[in-house]
Structure formats: structure tokens, C-alpha cells
Amino acid sequence: MEESATLRERRRLETESRITACAQRLTDERGLDGFTMDELAETAEVSRRTLFNYFPSKIDAVLGKPPEIPPSVMATFLEGGPHGHLVEDLGELVRVILDGKDIDRERMEAGRQVILANPRLILAVHERFEEITSDFVDMILAREGQDFGVDRSRLVIRLLVAIFDCCLPFTEIDPARSLPDDFTANLHAARELFG
């Protein structure tokens, strides 16, 4: 039974990834307003109903699903783990998110270029970032206590995003190293720099 649940989850992630890749390709070729959800469903080889079960709008399809953290990983983080150091533990959450996505460097860069070429997508990314930041701030405060502060929590999140962003100029990265490994290496380098 567990094996079939794993297979279903893998198929779900593959379908989700295929829809996002098709949405990004269509947006790159025709612009965000240059195709319909029906055309996206046809291109992604899913029914219209399936498409809307995954994504409520074109913008959501282009951006893909927000990151998900498994409940057991979240519980460990909220309890002060896995390392007992906030920045290291946030780094582990990022690794889990990156490991949970089938991230292909070329597709990620193509998606980034599509977003940067469309002001509506840039705005949507910013809005999503603010929602995710708010969720992470709540998680940090639940773990560290309210005295840690909202401003400090937001600063930590923004620093982690900057560290992640350093992983994205793919022309400067060792192609043999995974994105999660690049993030971890950059996190350790930043910790050394800030002492």
C-alpha cells in the first residue's frame, strides 16, 4: 500500500512539473495572454478538469506549486532540530524543499527568464514571496519565541533567499553539483563570512 502511495505521489509531481513546464514554454513562445487554459491542458496532455485540480490560473501554472515541507520535518524544526541552530535548521528546510522538487537547472533558468520578461509574473512572484516569508516568520517565532522578533525573522529569511539566489547564475556553477548542495555550500560560506 505504501508503495502505491509513493507511486501516486511521484505521478502527481510529474504531472505538476509537466504542466508548469508547458505553461512556461507557452508563455515564452506566446506571452501570458497568448494561450488559453484549454490549450495548456492540451499541451500538457491532461484534461481541463485535471489542470484546474492542479492550478487555478495560468499564473499559478507558470509559477508552479509553492514549496511544501513534510509535517515530520516541520515538527522537527519547531522542536528545535535537527541541529539546534536556527540558520542551520532553516538551511535543512530549504534542502528538503529543493530535494522535494524535481529541479532541472535548465528548466529553472528558463522559468526564471519567463518570469523576468513578464511584469505580471514578477508581481505574482513578489506576492507569493511575501506569503511564504510570512509563513516562515510564523514558524521561526513559534520555534524561537515572540521575543526573537518579526524583523529578525524576516531578515533571516531574506538572507537565505539571497544565498539561494547566488546559486542561480548557472554559468558559474559546477554542473556536477546539485542545487541543494550549492545552497548548502553557499550557506556555509556565508556563515564563515559573518563569523
User: In Å, how far from its chain's centre is CA 190?
Assistant: 21
Contacts of 141 (CB under 8 A, 6+ apart): 148, 150, 153
Task: Look up residue 125 and give its amino acid.
Answer: V
Q: 145 in the Ramachandran plot: left (φ > 0), alpha (ψ -120 to 50) or beta?
A: left
pLDDT tier for residue 168 given thresholds of 50, 70 and 90: confident
| C-alpha to C-alpha distance for 168 and 46, rounded to whole angstroms | 30
Same domain, 56 and 143: no
Q: Does the pLDDT at position 119 exceed 70?
A: yes
Are residues 73 and 61 both part of a single domain?
A: no
Cis peptide before 82 (omega within 30 of 0): yes
d(CA 67, CA 156): 18
Number of structural domains in the chain: 2
CATH number (domain holding residue 46)? 1.10.10.60
- Residue that finishes a domain, picked among 22, 44, 65: 65
Q: Which H/E stretch holds residue 35? A: none
Residues whose CB falls within 8 Å of the CB of residue 191, separated by 6 or more in sequence, listed in order: 87
3-state secondary structure of 146: helix
Predicted confidence (pLDDT) per residue in 47-93, tens digit: 999 999 999 999 999 999 988 899 999 999 999 999 999 999 999 99
Q: Residues in the chain, how many?
A: 195
More confident residue, 101 or 19: 19
Contact 50, 63 (CB under 8 A): no
Is 135 in the same domain as 61? Answer: no
**Pair 134, 181 in one domain:** yes
Give me the CATH number covering residue 140.
1.10.357
79 and 89 assigned to the same domain: yes
Residue 103: what pLDDT? 65
Non-local CB neighbours of 177 within 8 Å, separated by 6+ positions: 185
Which residue's C-alpha cell is 507511486?
7
Structural domain span for residue 38: 1-65
What's the rounded Cα separation, in Å, for the pair 116 and 125?
10
Mean pLDDT of the chain: 90
Please tell me what DSSP assigns to residue 84. S
Query: Are both 19 and 95 inside the same structural domain?
Result: no
